[in-house]
Amino acid sequence: MPSPLSTRAFPLGSRRVGRIGYGAMQLAGPGVFGPPKDRDAALAVLREAVASGVNHIDTSDFYGPHVTNQLIRAALAPYPDDLVIVTKIGARRGADASWLPAFSPEALTQAVHDNLRNLGLDVLEVVNLRIMLDPHGPAEGSIEAPLSTLAGLQQQGLVRHIGLSNVTAKQVAEARRICEIVCVQNHYNLAHRGDDALIDALAGDGIAYVPFFPLGGFTPLQSSALSDVAQRLGVTPMQAALAWLLHRAPNILLIPGTASLAHLRENLAAGDIELPADAQQTLDGIAP
Ligand SMILES: NC(=O)c1ccc[n+]([C@@H]2O[C@H](COP(=O)([O-])OP(=O)(O)OC[C@H]3O[C@@H](n4cnc5c(N)ncnc54)[C@H](OP(=O)(O)O)[C@@H]3O)[C@@H](O)[C@H]2O)c1
């Protein structure tokens, strides 16, 4: 019998992936810089994720840099046929661990080749263009130039599908006039709801929406309403937060990040949680 992870699948490019994937950013060292404290533990998390049915992993060569992709390759290559690894380009790391824009045609091309080499792939299944006009949140401005470079790399056969990250609805519309966009990855969770309208519009067009920081990222979600609902359902607050996202819209694909096997198991189990209407309503009310 197929697992709930795969039965509730949604298209991502030319594949269907489970609603609960895995975000690999937390596997690098502190501040997403340098090697992990425990390499074997990081490899074990990746292997267990895939063994449990995860077929969507989110990464970037600027995590580490290079570290996360190298861990994914060490843990999982040769890759299962159904595994979709989604990466992102558009930034680079300074020597002080800062996150810097890297949007020139040369930098974008180099980033695609870095991802191919460190993941050990001939083609990248999905590449998100991570917009850095404002690194901390979407900011208006044309993305035509960098997107055209990425579309050129797609035409060369190095990239199968293109997505966007840290973008406004206007930029999504601009991008869709340039090339097919298969997913949007923005900051969203039950306390950060700026993309509600965008999510619904993308759902109508069958485009995946992949919230980053689904659990609050570096400042984990904390809310008494969330804790109360979780207690009532007999789950953890983080599981309730993930269940809320799964119920929020059918095109939401989750990529919770963790370096812990116990948290990975908890996050995957969130796919089995039924959210009664009153619980959903309470959680809906958390955002201002
Ligand atoms: N496009 C972008 O700009 C962008 C930006 C940020 C992230 N991302 C992607 O989005 C993915 C998810 O974001 P994220 O990892 O930063 O944030 P997140 O998934 O919201 O939260 C991760 C944090 O929550 C903790 N956690 C995970 N599961 C937990 C559980 N069941 N119970 C308690 N704590 C738990 C983790 O610590 P432990 O390790 O201790 O579990 C970690 O500190 C990343 O891995 C990355 O692939 C993309």
Hey, whose CA ends up nearest to atom 11 of ligand 1? 23
Say what the alpha-carbon torsion angle 184, 190, 192, 198 is, to the nearest 10 degrees. 40
Is residue 199 within 6 Å of ligand 1 at its C-beta? no
Is residue 186 within 6 Å of ligand 1 at its C-beta? no
Residue ranges covered by each domain of the chain = 7-219+249-272
Is residue 214 within 6 Å of ligand 1 at its C-beta? yes
- What tens digit of pLDDT does each residue of 166-202 get? 999 999 999 999 999 999 999 999 999 999 999 999 9
How deeply is 145 buried, as exposed, middle or buried, from its count of CB atoms within 10 A (0-12, 13-18, 19+)?
A: exposed
Cβ–Cβ under 8 Å, residues 15 and 80:
no
- What tens digit of pLDDT does each residue of 39-50 get? 999 999 999 999
Hey, whose CA ends up nearest to atom 5 of ligand 1? 212
Whole-angstrom CA distances from 253 to 2, 106, 201 are 18, 31, 15
Q: Quote the pLDDT of residue 244.
A: 98
- What tens digit of pLDDT does each residue of 131-178 get? 999 999 999 999 999 999 999 999 999 999 999 999 999 999 999 999
Query: Cβ contacts of residue 89 below 8 Å, gap of 6+?
Result: 60, 61, 102, 108, 111, 112, 115, 127, 128, 129, 130, 150
Say what the alpha-carbon torsion angle 41, 216, 245, 44 is, to the nearest 10 degrees. 0
Q: Quote the pLDDT of residue 288.
A: 76
Of the residues 22, 63, 188, 209, which is catalytic? 63
Q: Is 63 a catalytic residue?
A: yes
pTM over 0.85: yes
Which CATH homologous superfamily contains domain 7-219+249-272?
NADP-dependent oxidoreductase domain (3.20.20.100)
| pLDDT tens track, the chain, 288 positions | 334 455 569 999 999 999 999 999 999 999 999 999 999 999 999 999 999 999 999 999 999 999 999 999 999 999 999 999 999 999 999 999 999 999 999 999 999 999 999 999 999 999 999 999 999 999 999 999 999 999 999 999 999 999 999 999 999 999 999 999 999 999 999 999 999 999 999 999 999 999 999 999 999 999 999 999 999 999 999 999 999 999 999 999 999 999 999 999 999 999 999 999 999 999 999 997
Residue type at 128 in one-letter notation:
N
